[in-house]
A and B are shown apart, each in its own frame.
Chain A
Amino acid sequence: MKRELLDVCVHCGFCLPTCPTYVTTGDEAESPRGRIYLMSLAERGETPIGGAFTEHIDSCLGCLACVPACPSGVQYNLLIEAARPRIEQEAPRSLGERSFRRLVFGLFPYPRRLRVAAVFGVLYQRVGIRPTRLLSRLPARVRALESLLPPVRVRDLFARTPRATPPAGSARRRVALLTGCAQRVFFGKVNAATVRVLAAEGCEVVAPRGQGCCGALSLHSGRDDEARRFARRTIDAFGDGYDAIVVNVAGCGSTMKEYGELLSDDPAYRERAAAFAAKVRDVTELLAELPPIAPRHPVEARVAYHDACHLANAQRITAQPRQVLAAIPGVELVDVPEAQICCGSAGVYNLLQPETAEELGKRKAANLTSVKPDVIATANAGCLLQIGRFTSDGTPIVHPVELVDASIRGAAAPKGG
C-alpha cells in the first residue's frame, strides 16, 4: 500500500454510488473511499491489520466499478491488490475460514480437479444427494458453491477445444485462445462458439496445450505468489508467434493485461510479460476491430447486455460488446437500470462473501429481467453463473459471442446454460 497511491484519493465520494457493497449496506467502511481510508490508516500504522480492516477489505468484490468513477484517478486495483496480501501475511484467519479458502483455491484454478468435483456436482443435481457432512458445516457457502455448478451434461465437461482451427478463407489474424480453467470445464460451448466465430471472421485459432489458470483468482484474493506462478506458466504455455491472445472471460483478460506489472520485479520474465500483456484482447474487442466478413443472419431478440466488472471497469470495454451485438440484424439492445452495479459474482466472491453476493445477485437479476429481455448477454463466466442463479423466469443467459455464432450459423438464439 503505497502512500503516493493512497494520497491520490481526495475523499470526494464520487465512487460511492458505484460500489455494490456500499449500495447494499450504506456503511462508509463498505465503500471504496472507506476502504482506502482504512488502508491509509494502516499504512500510517494507525490501525492494525485484522479486525475491521480485514472485514472490510475482504468484503470488497474487486469489481473495480470505483475505478472509472474516480475523477482523481485513484488506482484502486493496485491498492486492493496490495492490501489483500497484507491480510494473508499478517492477520491469522480462523481455522474454518482457512480450510474453506484452501478448498476454493485448491479447486478452481485446476481444471482437472474441478472436473472431478463437477462430476459429483452433476450427480448431486441428478440424484438430489445433499452435501456431505464436511461441507454442511458451512451452509451459506455450500449453497453458493453448489449452485455455481450449472446444469451441465457430463459430455460437455470433457469437451476440449481443438488445438488448431484454420480460418475460413485467408487468415487476417493468427490468434491464441485462452481456454480458461473454470471456463473450460463449465463453458465448453462458449469456447466452441468463440473458435467458430473467430475462424469465420478469418482468424487462425490456436488453443495452446498446457495452459491452466491465468492467476486471476489468486491475484484477486491476495495470493500474489501463486498468481505470479500461474502467470509465468501461462506465458510459457502460450509462447510467441500470435497477433493476439484472445480471452473470452473478462476476469482472466484483465489479469493477463496486468502481467507486465505483476512480473515487473522478475528480471527473467519482465519483458516477456509486458509483450504478452500488450497482445491480450477480449474476444469482443477483437471482433470490434475486425470489419465483419462472415454474413450475419437475423436473430430477432431483445438483448439485455450486462457489463462484466472486469470488462467494463478493469479493461474499460463497454462499447465494443455492444457494437458487436448491435451489428447482428434483428437484435434490439435495451438499457438496464443500475447497469454499473456488480452482480456479486466477482471471481470467487460469491464463495467467500455469500450473503452480500446473494443480495447483489438478486438485485442484478431483478434489474435485468425488469426490461423483459429475450436474452441476457454477458462476457464473463462468473456473471453468467451468478445471474443464472437468481433469474427465476428462465431468461436464457449467454456469452455475446454465442449470439454472434448463432447469427453467423443462422441458428436460433441460443438457450441459456
Chain B
Amino acid sequence: MALTDLRDKLVADLGRDGVIDDPAHLRTYECDALTGYRVVPALVVLPRDAGEVATAVRACAEHGVPFVARGAGTGLSGGALPTADGVVISLQRLRRIIEVDPVNRRAVVQPGVTNLDISKAAAAYGLYYAPDPSSQQVCTIGGNVAENSGGAHCLKYGFTANHVLAVDVVLPDGTPTRLGGDAPHQAGFDLLGAFVGSEGTLGVVTAVVVRLLHTPATVRTLAADFDSTETAGAAVTAVIAAGIVPAAIEMMDNLAIQAVNEAVDAGFDPDTAAVLIIELDGPADEVEERFAEVTAVCTAATRVTIARDAEQRARFWRGRKAAFAAVGRLSPNYFVQDGVVPRTRLGEALARIAAMADEAGLRVANVFHAGDGNLHPLVLYSEAAGEHERAEALSSAIAELCVELGGSLSGEHGIGTDKACSMPRMFSTDDLETMKRLRAAFDPAGLCNPGKIFPTPRLCGERPGPYRPHPLESAGVIERL
C-alpha cells in the first residue's frame, strides 16, 4: 500500500523515466560488487538533480519506506545492498562537474561524477584530486565520501576525509543541508568528519567540494622483486623506519602477479614471490635523494626495475589497479578481504594467512597497500566445487586475525553488510551504542541505509559474536571498564 502510493508519487515527481519498477529490471540493482549479498529492491529511482533527490528522500520518509543511495555499485562490503520493500536512489544522473576553481584549488562536483573525471577536469590547471582508489575510473565521489575511500597514494596524501571540504547532503527526513565549509575550519563539531565514512547511513550526498593538489613535480617509481612476502614486508618496514614517506608502497604476491600479467601487459616478473611498487613524488632533488635511500634499503630485492618513463610507470599502475578484477581470470569465484594490521606485523600477518589458507585447502592471492598495512587477501574458490562456505569462513577469519593483531576490520571497503556481524570483535556494546547515538541524531526513523555497519539479530543471529579483548587491552595498554 505504502509502496504503491510511494511509486505513484515518485512517478508523478520524477517522471516515468526516473522510476524503475519492472521486476527483471530491478534485479540489476540487487547487489554491488560484493555479489554474495543480493536483495531485490521494491523501486529504483534515478533523480536528475539535488532537488529530485530531496523529493525522493522526503517521499520515502513520509511513507516510512527505507532507502539506500547507490553510486557506481563498486562497493565491496555490500554497502549499497537494497532493503527488500525499500528504494534505491541511484545518483548516476548527477554527473556534472559544477565548478573547477584553480585559484582556490578546489572543485565542486555532483555525487555521481567518477573519481577519475575530477582529476581529468582539473588536469587543465595542473591540478588533480589525490585519493585514488583502484576503482577510480568508475567509482563515484559520492561513494568515496560514504566509504572514506583510500588508494595507493593515500599513504602520503591521506584519504577521502582529508580531501573533502564540504558536502551538500539531503538528511534522511528530506532536509537539505551543508556540512563543512569553505576551508578546513568549522564552527562547532566536525560533522563533516563524522559524515565521511558513514557508509550512506547518515544522508544522501548531492554535491561535494573537494580540494585539488598540484600534480607533483617529479615522480619516481620502482618495482622490486623479492623471494618471499616476508622479506618484502620487512623492506616496507625498513623504508618507513628510514623516515621516508613514499607516495605509495604496494605489494603483490605471485598469484596476484600472474593474474595481472594476464589482464594487462604490466611486465611484472611472473616467477617472483612478491613485488613491491614504491613510488616517490615531490620536488626533483628531494625525490632523487630519497629514491636513492629507498633503492639502498631494498637490498634484499632480487631485482629492482626503475620505471624509465611515464609510460612504464603507467603500466605498473594499470597492472596494480586491475589486480582485483584480474583475479577473475584465475578463479571462477573469490572474496576480496580488506583488513589492516600495524605495519610492523605485516610479515607475521602474511605468514599466518598463508598457513590458514593451507589448512583450508584454498588459494589466497595478496595485493595490497603495504605502506599502511592495509591487506587485501583474495580468497579464491569455486562455487561449483562447493567451496563457498569454506572460503567465506577463511575470509572472515582473516579479517578477525587483523583485529587480533591490533589492527582493524576494514581499511577502506567499509563494514557494510559484509562485516556488520564482526563488529563486536572490534568494538564493545558501549562503543557501538555510542556510535548509534550519532546515527539517531541524523536519522531518528532509521530509514537511511538500515542494516549496515551495526550487527543486527536478523543478520547475525540472536547473539552477535562475542567481544574479544583488544590485544592492547590484553597487554594492559588500554583498559576496558
Contact = CB atoms under 8 A, between A and B. Distances in A.
**Are chains A and B touching in the complex at the 8 Å CB cutoff?**
yes
Contacts of A34: 28
A106 interface: no
Given A13-B74, A14-B135, A14-B138, A27 B20 contact: yes
B95 interface: yes
B92 A13 contact: no
A70 B326 CA distance: 9
Nearest to A69: B137
Given A10-B325, A14-B137, A41 B27 contact: yes
Contact of B135 (A13, A37, A48): A13
A38 B30 CA distance: 12
A56 B27 CA distance: 13
Interface string A1-25: 0000001111111101100000000
A51 B22 contact: yes
Contacts of B345: none
A11 B78 CA distance: 12
A68 to B, nearest CB: 10
B341 interface: no
A26 interface: yes
B14 to A, nearest CB: 13
Residue among B28, B33, B327 with max Cβ neighbours from chain A (10 Å): B28
B278 to A, nearest CB: 23
Interface string A358-376: 0000000000000000000
A149 to B, nearest CB: 31
A108 interface: no
B39 interface: no
A108 to B, nearest CB: 31
Interface residues of B, number: 40
Interface residues on A, range: 20 to 34
A26 B72 contact: no
A11 B29 CA distance: 11
* Most chain B C-beta atoms within 10 Å of own C-beta, residue among A10, A11, A26: A10
Contact of B112 (A14, A26, A52, A53): A26
Interface in B1-49: 20, 22-25, 27-29, 31-33, 35, 46
Contact of A16 (B20, B72, B324): B72
B325 A14 contact: yes
Contacts of B465: none
Contacts of A16: 72, 138
Nearest to B120: A337
Interface string B134-158: 0101110000000000000000000
29 contacts: A11-B31, A11-B35, A12-B33, A12-B325, A13-B135, A14-B135, A14-B138, A14-B322, A16-B72, A17-B138, A27-B46, A27-B90, A27-B92, A28-B28, A28-B29, A28-B73, A28-B90, A38-B27, A41-B24, A41-B27, A51-B22, A52-B22, A52-B24, A53-B24, A70-B325, A71-B264, A71-B324, A71-B325, A72-B328
